[in-house]
Chain A
């Protein structure tokens, strides 16, 4: 499905006819060159759908790359910091990848169909990086962003919605597993993955099947509190889940103008994805090993529980001597937890050894004047929200 893009800046996704019909506010933004809704009606209600019913989001603009060939498995394992040598077919893994200096380029998910076929999904464009890195491997890489329509179906009733849509036995699918379905004559891949930190799935299909899929899911979810949700609501849920966003919580190494803004995995709370003891070499291994051995990590990305109810958007964080020790990268009043939370990039030892007596300077807008609030913060686990239902097998059903 190629669109004539002469004189136009943004592409439409295969769901556009449906997403634009569902939008009552006509608020759109540019995601990876596509126009998608920031909000359909009210962000709070869309957020609620993700925590109470089923939320549906057009995920098509997400960067999608197919990696095929005899060396596909070896190449993927070489590309990322995580040890994927034992990765099973029909599973998905959360990954990050770095440049040679051990600075993070992006995070994403890798889907393994077989040892010769993978799909990588991520936020930024990395077609060139993949091709450069593939030198010497027998693989071919194609950008399939335009040729796969994708939806995120997330929330406590999402399994029931998809079952009603035709995904039999879906409740048995474990987190980070995927399964191919044939529904109404089309191939649909469903993975138990997502960006909301809740029970949820992602659905991948042919763009030709997009509109029918949207319509049928809407029908299936009619009694299951289904609602389309936009980027603003997604942002709320991902902060609660403690997921990081490239170029929001850290600068992608490929995008950073200033070398000092680049971050190692250890600086953004992704140390657990770096497997220095994996047998084969991976991009950035040397630098990361050195950083780990010499303990030269400068920063950390932590969760903050902040006093009061005013979100600390962009706040500078101080120690008790009023010295600048970091910055808030994402902030939110969490509707479900009734807590004022934030993700913050702090200079070590703050956030690691020193977790109390730190303060956020919040500028709260009040009718063209700002009220300055000095709010006490506590360093907490970045994963603020992690309900039991998220990883439950079989998944919760509403019948």
Chain B
């Protein structure tokens, strides 16, 4: 049996180190994959809920029978104006 020189020893050392890393990674891969899948599923769920809920929450029907009220006086409820618009139509 030949005695390894320094260079051969170094090459074997690097190879052995790389193989041990690969083995370690291979062992951890299933756990990493499961975690990633779980995270992606959660993100997809949140995005789906937001995509459905936000437009519904911000639709005109969610604010009653009007979109927006501008007023030149502070402290008057929007609904009072909507009621006045309704009452005038009833009277007219």
Report whether chain A binds chain B.
no
Please report A residues at the B interface, Cβ cutoff 8 Å.
none
